Structure 1
Amino acid sequence: MPRFPSHPARRPVLIAGASSGIGAATGVTLAELGYPVALGARRVEQCEELAGKIRAEGGEAFAYRLDVTDGASVDEFVTAAEKALGPIEIVVSGAGDLEFGQAHTIDPDVFDQQLRVHLGGAQRLAHRLLPGMIDRQRGDFIVIGSDCADRPRPGMAAYNAAKVGVEALARQMRMELEGTGVRASVVRPGQTLTGMGMNATPEVVGPLLEDWEKWGFARHPHFLRAADIAAAVAAVVATPRGAHLVLVEVQPEAPLKETP
């Protein structure tokens, strides 16, 4: 007899931050693997377009507006998603953006907003969705962390603080959920090429990259693709029950050295 029942055949997934980047790539990857996906973000038009593409390829997708800083929006999104797809079995908390700034120069309101989106958003999703998972004695709650949580980078004060908090929250959830059948995991990307931070000016980015090189963060020029992080999420949720991928860190492979 197995120690745990197998995953159910149907495992609806809720993805917060699904309009672009890692969230969108995760939606596509999981849909291709047969998971029904609920795509949520403030930019709901992009989510609806992505859901249409997934359905055109034979997948099952639902799109709805989601603002993770607003508890009422979280509740409305979850209610609509579960009505469309059934009880949520997997949560991917990846909503967020990136504002550059030093700890002493970044606007405090911008700093607070970063915390509300990355950290507060994950907690709002947990508050709304974990009780149902606990009742069913199964489920995966995944937060998208960052290697900044382990190695903070200069010029990213709010993002660093938010990701440290998100990963600490996930570690605490893992302890509190022990014995419930629900797994809390962190997928931790290294440098990844997405739209986040791309609105920054060269005057901001230039000194930032110089600082990163000085402190040893820019070892090589290769970046991960959003699909690489989606593959890590897929590995976490596909792990058979009874095992738990607690932390998966994904780093870009360095360029190949020229052979002599």
Structure 2
Amino acid sequence: MLPRSRAGPGRTRLDPPGPGERRPDLTPTPGMGSLRTVGERRTVPAGPRTTAVHASTSGGNHMAPGLEPRGSRILLTGASSGIGAALAVRLASEGAVLGLVGRNEQRLAATLAAVREHSPESRMWPVDLSDWGQVDVLAATAITELGGVDVLVNNAGIPKHKHVTALTPETADEVMRINYSSPVRLTLRLLPHMVERGSGRIVMVSSVAATLSSPGEGAYDASKAALSVFAEAMAIDVWDLGLRVNIVYPGVVDTPLFLVPDNDPLSPDIEKIPVDEFVDGMMAALYADELQVYVPAWFEGVAKNKAQNVGAFLEGSVNWMRQQREAGHA
């Protein structure tokens, strides 16, 4: 991650057409087994649908409706702590029914307890998202027990702050599996149901590392870059199908994410974003239906500076890393 610099707004708009009127076939795919659900097994009635609102803009596009949490059935991964836990409570407080997914059952249960103060119909599924069988069962179970999935938020991920000379092929594969392959697989399992219904929203939580080639994070950078490009291409593919795609690029959020074993310490010069501040920025972008949003917004300017002269940007990163080593931070 690079030191802070100031730049302009961090959002890019992509406005697909409004949703159609078809309803999905919510029958789960046979032969997938079952998933243990924590919470009452009861189908949640479908919430109200948001209809398209068309208005002329300066670019000649049409405005599409943003996220409407009330009544929406939202499947949220990585809900055990950090961004996911804070986002879950925010969405529940605004009327959403949540399906919470995480690997740590104890922490996931704590999130569910907070969520149920606002949304008693919400539930949780302890899942190892690196296990493809569990991912497949999760998709089918969520459709059945939530009564459908209106919004998928792919938030789960693992960090890897490790100099490339200390990185193993096995670790690189693990990071790509969790941060890229797993959310793509879950998305593709749920996509047919959204397409059949003619509406749905897929939110990918990426990272500024995807665009800034953060030093010491090669595997993590690559996994998030792959996720972002997949989401961009998917946004084009589903443009005329009534589905929406949002990509969120957080900076370093003040959560325990990077305090896990086998990660090099982060530089103390890196400014962390309070998790509630990040959730505020993310929600604002979803309400406005922004395709891409950087939180904080000034990171978009940094990404644009890199695109203008990649060589100079990387040279600046090398110089910054030298300064960090001299200061004993790297």
TM over 0.5: yes
Instruction: Indicate the larger mover: 230-239 or 74-83.
Output: 230-239
Provide the secondary structure at the position in 2 that maps to 1:18.
coil
Is the Cα–Cα contact under 8 Å of residues 95 and 119 in structure 2 kept in the other structure?
Answer: no
Match of 2:90 among 29, 34, 43: 29
Determine whether 1:250 maps to 2:292: no
Taking only the aligned residue pairs, the percentage that are identical comes to 26
Equivalent of 1:225, from 274, 282, 285? 274
Whether the 8 Å CA contact 2:95–2:118 is kept in 1: the answer is no
Partners of 1:62 and 1:4 in 2: CA distance? 29
* Counterpart residue number, 2:199: 138
Structure 1 position 88 matched with structure 2 position 139: no
1:235 aligns with 2:284: yes
Q: How far 1:79 sits from its partner (Å)?
A: 2.7
The letter of the residue matching 1:7 is T
Q: 1:29 to 1:166 in 2, by over 3 A?
A: same
Query: Which one-letter code corresponds to 2:292 in the other structure?
Result: L
Distance 2:182 2:273 in 1: 24
> Does 2:227 align with 1:172?
no
Q: Does 1:98 align with 2:159?
A: yes
Matches within 5 A, 1:126-165: 126-165=187-226
* Letter of the 1:251 counterpart: P
Contact 1:31/1:60 (8 A) holds in 2 = no
TM-score where L is the length of structure 1: 0.82
CA distance in 2, matches of 1:82, 1:115: 26
Residue deviations 1:16-64 (CA, integer Å, cap 9, x gap)? 1111111111111100110001100111222122112221345542101
Matched position secondary structure for 1:246: strand
Give the direction of change, closer, same or farther, for the CA distance of 1:174–1:201 in structure 2 (3 Å limit): closer
Moved segments of 4+, more than 4 Å: none
Q: Per-residue CA shift, 1:88-115, capped at 9, x if unaligned?
A: 0001101111122122320111111000
Aligned match of 1:72 = 133
Q: CA deviation at 1:191?
A: 1.8
C-alpha distance in 2, partners of 1:58/1:11? Answer: 11
1:209 aligns with 2:267: yes
Map of 1:7 onto structure 2: 50
Distance 1:174 1:229 in 2: 23
| Aligned equivalents of 1:225, 1:79: Cα separation in 2 | 35
Which runs of no fewer than 5 residues in structure 1 stay unpaired? 254-260
User: Which one of the candidate residues 55, 61, 65 is aligned to 2:122?
Assistant: 61
Q: Does residue 113 of the first structure (1) align with residue 174 of the second (2)?
A: yes
TM-score, with length taken from structure 2: 0.66
Considering only aligned residues, what root-mean-square deviation do their CA atoms show, in Å? 2.3
1:197-230 per-position Cα deviation (integer Å, ceiling 9, x unaligned): 113589x32xx528xx6xxxx4xx3x21222333
Matches of 1:149 and 1:16 in 2, distance apart? 19
Instruction: Report how far residue 76 of structure 1 moved.
Output: 2.0
Give the aligned partner of residue 101 of structure 2: 40
Change (3 A) 1:163 1:58: closer
